[in-house]
């Protein structure tokens, strides 16, 4: 055992001698670690995995489709998906599971692409279902769809560059020579490191027409031909011209898609037959069930998934006397039956990620396609020049065929045939080789004359090609003709219908909620109660946890928006009607559970907003005060949480929501007092502004408490009040040693 241990020690020493600094912990700056280790990984994910290029494909898509093309699956019968997956691993080393997932997404059966690239047979699942799993690759069959002819057209004519695969045993295309803007025709989503890409799909005919329009006129109005995005799942797109213009110009923005439904009056049933592309059947059903449980959707008696081979269907059974329009309004407001699609047109251009608008993307594609067409013409031109060169040699032979035959026949050694032909007919080696290889049966005048007739045709073609290559407008004309042909061949009707004059169901539903006066109570321990005035008069004794106490009481309305500020500089937004009316004898809703706050987070302030008018005033321990416009907390979408709700530069002492400028009395720990008129403060739009210096504190002094102060006839002429009232800020306040009960206030924290 001892000898064995010594041997192991010797091996360890030998390894340490070979690997420099092996086993030694070296201090390294984090910036250096990120630069050397993390950045190469991040760039690899961005450039080689997650972000699509101008041809519309990520590397995994391109490798898969090219493998299928080389397997001859552009024509003929289908093959097993497992066969395709195995062959693709020669180009893509990331494993069979990820390759098959890529194949599924590109397939017709999965139904996520407007124009699927893979013609599939078997169960490939559905994009609109979370739980409908696809079958194993050994059970499904695939081939390339007909539209793939437009992806690989002229790929063998040097139209694109080819690079080595991962082990340098094969060549693969760096891009596909797509002859239509597939980057915008089919949707594409990718998440890289520090960035992402989300490209919505557009109708093929509209994209082709828009591209043609841009080629003919660089100032072409995109909106005139490209109406709106189009999705394979259908639905209704709520048309917002301003937002679409923003997306078209910047490549960023969002729009709303609404589900399509049918009301079956005889069965009193709603049938959802098309849904937004960003959701699934299961997500919709789960949300509806959740709302039924909390009593938000009392009109529904049953909901079920009736999706079958005929397509998607969610059946919702309604109770008698249900107002269908009101129910639809609720469904669109509270469930993903109306959902937003966020766009981020991030594309790799020459290896660099760029967020581009529609016009920029199409211009980049036009430039790319021009290069492909030029390379194709160069390839054909060189082939024709080579053939013409051979025919020029054949033409010289025509002058004396018998002489050529005699030279070949009288040459004693085979190796001298070519030199003798070159010498006697003044042709080069390539031409001589061509003549020498002509079969004996073809050495007749008719054959040679027919061949020579091609010279005029070839000369005409070559001149035409050279003329095209010298004129970019003629290259563009070729692209226009190809796009027009593709549009006629593959165009299909829009699946997502556009609604310009639509009813905002969210606003309608909100107006139908019963509005009445209520009292809001917030306790120190984070319990919330919503009690009607009548219920409060009947029972004024509150049930509270031991050691708990009520910290805030607000008289508001059932339709108010409630803002709950936490000690983690966040604000949680909800509606008052999201809480049930309760009695004072009930403990109430525990906000950390209701709002889903963080584990160590607590609610410290509540504001009830009827309309977003007024300000939030924040008082900090260091003597600074910030005045934030309440509109800064207003959001167009139903966001439940806003971060950076107030400044974290200093400890918060108090906060108040005021509808108009008010007075506040501030007390420091060293018993200095100051009455602040908030009209002296400038309003900020930034929620987390650090504020302005209001109270000039002495060394070791801090703000202790703040309370709202009512300045009226009873105290406005009081000498002490006048001294404390600041006419300008910052102010040092005054020292007050009297015991004034009006200055006492419990801390919020």
CA gap 534, 552 in Å, rounded = 19
The more confidently predicted of residues 17 and 217 is 217
16, two tokens: 């340490």
Tell whether 640 and 650 lie within a shared domain. yes
Tell whether 66 and 163 lie within a shared domain. yes
CA gap 630, 521 in Å, rounded = 21
Q: Give burial (CB, 10 Å; 0-12/13-18/19+) of 713.
A: exposed
CB atoms within 10 A of CB 99: 25
pLDDT score of 653:
96
pLDDT score of 20:
67
Tell whether 742 and 636 lie within a shared domain. yes
Pairing of strands 269-274, 188-191: unpaired
Strands (E), 12-114: 79-80
Q: Backbone phi, then psi, for 608, in 5-degree steps?
A: -105, 120
Q: How confident is the model at residue 739 (pLDDT cuts 50, 70, 90)?
A: very low
Tell whether 102 and 152 lie within a shared domain. yes
Q: Which residue has the tokens 């300008």?
A: 728
> 601 CB contacts (<8 Å, ≥6 apart)?
566, 567, 568, 570, 592
Tell whether 570 and 520 lie within a shared domain. yes
Q: Has residue 183 been placed in a domain? A: no
Catalytic hit among 38, 41, 139, 166: 139
Q: How far apart are the first and last CA of the chain?
A: 66
Out of 121, 149, 178, pick the residue that ends a domain: 178
Q: Is the pLDDT reported for residue 572 higher than 70?
A: yes
Q: What is the mean pLDDT of residues 286-301?
A: 87
Q: What is the pLDDT of residues 304-330, one digit of tens each?
A: 999 998 899 999 999 988 889 889 988
612 is catalytic: no
Out of 286, 318, 336, pick the residue that ends a domain: 336
346, two tokens: 């991030």
Q: Has residue 197 been placed in a domain? A: no
**Degrees, nearest 5: CA angle 476-482-488:** 135
Q: What is the pLDDT of residues 84-119, one digit of tens each?
A: 999 999 999 888 999 999 999 999 999 999 999 999
Contact 652, 749 (CB under 8 A): yes
Burial profile 649-683: b = 16 or more Cβ within 10 angstroms, e = fewer: ebebbbbbbbeeebbbbbbbeebbbbbbbbebbee
CB atoms within 10 A of CB 638: 11
Tell whether 580 and 474 lie within a shared domain. no
Tell whether 486 and 599 lie within a shared domain. no
Number of independent structural domains in the chain: 6
CB atoms within 10 A of CB 146: 13
Q: Has residue 224 been placed in a domain? A: no
Pairing of strands 672-677, 734-735: antiparallel
Tell whether 66 and 165 lie within a shared domain. yes
CA gap 348, 366 in Å, rounded = 15
Tell whether 646 and 600 lie within a shared domain. no
Write the CATH number for 164.
Answer: 3.90.199.10
Task: Give yes or no for a cis peptide into 162 (omega within 30° of 0).
Answer: no
Q: What is the pLDDT of residues 488-537, one digit of tens each?
A: 999 999 999 999 987 776 555 555 677 899 999 999 999 999 999 988 88
Q: What is the pLDDT of residues 196-240, one digit of tens each?
A: 999 999 999 999 999 999 999 999 999 999 999 999 999 999 999
Tell whether 588 and 688 lie within a shared domain. no
Out of 316, 336, 356, pick the residue that ends a domain: 336
722, two tokens: 């006048």
CA gap 13, 19 in Å, rounded = 10
Tell whether 589 and 547 lie within a shared domain. yes
Contact 427, 435 (CB under 8 A): yes
> 276 CB contacts (<8 Å, ≥6 apart)?
231, 233, 235, 257, 258, 259, 336, 337, 338, 339, 341
Q: What is the mean pLDDT of the chain?
A: 89
Tell whether 559 and 671 lie within a shared domain. no
Q: Has residue 348 been placed in a domain? A: no
Q: Has residue 528 been placed in a domain? A: yes
Q: What is the mean pLDDT of residues 419-429?
A: 87
Q: Has residue 486 been placed in a domain? A: yes
Q: Has residue 627 been placed in a domain? A: yes
Q: What is the DSSP letter of 345?
A: -
Q: What is the DSSP letter of 563?
A: E
- Which neighbouring-strand residues pair with 412? none
Contact 715, 721 (CB under 8 A): yes
Among 411, 316, 355, smallest CA distance to 195 is for 355
Strands (E), 81-193: 118-121, 141-144, 162-164, 171-173, 188-191
How far is the CA of 50 from the CAs of 198, 251, 284, 357, in angstroms? 11, 18, 28, 19
Q: Which residue has the tokens 């003798």?
A: 420
Write the CATH number for 742.
Answer: 2.120.10.90
Q: Has residue 129 been placed in a domain? A: yes
> The domain containing residue 323 runs over which residues?
260-336
Lowest-confidence range among 227-231, 255-259, 548-552, 578-582? Answer: 578-582
pTM: 0.73
Lowest-confidence range among 4-13, 93-102, 172-181, 571-580? Answer: 4-13
Q: Which residue has the tokens 């720990």?
A: 669
């Amino acid at each position: 055992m001892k000898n064995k241990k010594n041997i192991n020690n010797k091996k360890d020493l030998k390894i340490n001698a070979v690997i420099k600094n092996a086993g030694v912990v070296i201090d390294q700056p984090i910036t250096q670690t990120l630069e050397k280790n993390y950045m190469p990984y991040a760039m690899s994910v961005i450039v080689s995995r997650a972000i699509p290029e101008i041809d519309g494909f990520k590397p995994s898509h391109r490798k898969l489709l090219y493998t299928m093309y080389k397997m001859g699956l552009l024509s003929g019968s289908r093959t097993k998906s497992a066969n395709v997956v195995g062959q693709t691993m020669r180009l893509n080393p990331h494993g069979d599971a990820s390759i098959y997932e890529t194949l599924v997404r590109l397939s017709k059966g999965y139904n996520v692409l407007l124009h699927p690239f893979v013609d599939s047979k078997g169960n490939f699942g559905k994009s609109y279902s979370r739980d409908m799993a696809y079958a194993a690759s050994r059970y499904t069959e695939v081939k390339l769809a007909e539209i793939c002819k437009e992806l690989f057209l002229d790929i063998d004519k040097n139209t694109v560059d080819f690079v080595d695969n991962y082990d340098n045993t094969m060549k693969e295309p760096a891009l596909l020579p797509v002859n239509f803007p597939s980057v915008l025709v089919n949707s594409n989503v990718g998440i890289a490191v520090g960035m992402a890409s989300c490209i919505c799909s557009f109708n093929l005919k509209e994209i082709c027409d828009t591209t043609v329009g841009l080629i003919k006129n660089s100032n072409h109005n995109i909106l005139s031909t490209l109406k709106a995005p189009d999705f394979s799942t259908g639905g209704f797109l709520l048309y917002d011209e301003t937002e679409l213009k923003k997306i078209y110009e910047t490549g960023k923005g969002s729009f709303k898609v609404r589900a399509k439904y049918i009301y079956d009056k005889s069965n009193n049933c709603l049938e959802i037959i098309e849904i937004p592309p960003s959701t699934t059947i299961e997500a919709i059903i789960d949300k509806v069930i959740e709302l039924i449980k909390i009593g938000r959707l009392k009109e529904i008696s049953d909901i079920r998934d009736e999706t079958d081979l005929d397509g998607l269907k969610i059946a919702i059974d309604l109770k008698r006397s249900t107002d269908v329009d009101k129910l639809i309004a609720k469904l669109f407001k509270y469930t993903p039956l109306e959902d937003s699609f966020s766009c981020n047109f991030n594309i790799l251009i020459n290896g660099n990620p760029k967020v581009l608008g529609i016009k920029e993307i199409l211009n980049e594609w036009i430039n790319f396609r021009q290069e492909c067409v030029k390379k194709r013409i160069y390839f054909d031109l060189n082939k024709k020049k080579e053939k013409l060169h051979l025919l020029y040699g054949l033409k010289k032979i025509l002058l004396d065929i018998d002489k050529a035959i005699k030279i070949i026949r009288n040459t004693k050694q085979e190796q001298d045939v070519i030199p003798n032909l070159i010498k006697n007919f003044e042709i080069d080696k390539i031409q001589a080789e061509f003549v020498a290889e002509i079969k004996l049966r073809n050495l007749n005048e008719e054959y040679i004359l027919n061949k020579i007739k091609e010279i005029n045709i070839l000369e005409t073609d070559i001149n035409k090609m050279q003329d095209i290559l010298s004129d970019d407008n003629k290259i563009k004309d070729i692209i226009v003709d190809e796009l027009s042909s593709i549009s006629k061949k593959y165009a299909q009707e829009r699946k997502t219908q556009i609604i310009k004059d639509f009813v905002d169901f969210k606003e309608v539903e909100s107006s139908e909620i019963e509005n009445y006066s209520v009292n809001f109570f917030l306790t120190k321990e984070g319990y919330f109660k919503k009690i009607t005035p009548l219920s409060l008069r009947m029972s004024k004794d509150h049930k509270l946890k031991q050691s708990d106490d009520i910290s805030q009481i607000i008289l508001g309305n059932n339709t108010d928006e409630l803002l709950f500020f936490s000690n983690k500089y966040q604000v949680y937004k909800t509606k008052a009607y999201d809480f049930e009316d309760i009695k004072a004898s009930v403990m109430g809703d525990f906000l950390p559970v209701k709002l889903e706050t963080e584990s160590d987070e607590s609610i410290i302030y509540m504001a009830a907003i009827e309309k977003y008018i007024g300000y939030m005033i924040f008082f900090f321990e260091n003597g600074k005060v910030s005045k934030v416009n309440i509109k800064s907390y207003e959001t167009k979408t139903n966001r439940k949480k806003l971060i950076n709700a107030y400044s974290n530069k200093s400890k918060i002492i108090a906060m108040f929501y005021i509808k108009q400028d008010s007075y506040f009395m501030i007390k420091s720990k060293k018993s200095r007092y100051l009455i602040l008129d908030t009209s002296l403060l400038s309003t900020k739009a930034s929620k987390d502004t650090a504020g302005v210096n209001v109270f000039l504190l002495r060394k070791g002094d801090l703000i202790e408490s703040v309370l709202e102060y009512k300045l009226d006839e009873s105290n406005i002429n009081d000498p002490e009040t006048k001294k404390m009232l600041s006419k300008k800020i910052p102010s040092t306040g005054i020292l007050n040693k009297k015991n004034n009960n009006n200055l006492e206030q419990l801390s919020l924290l």
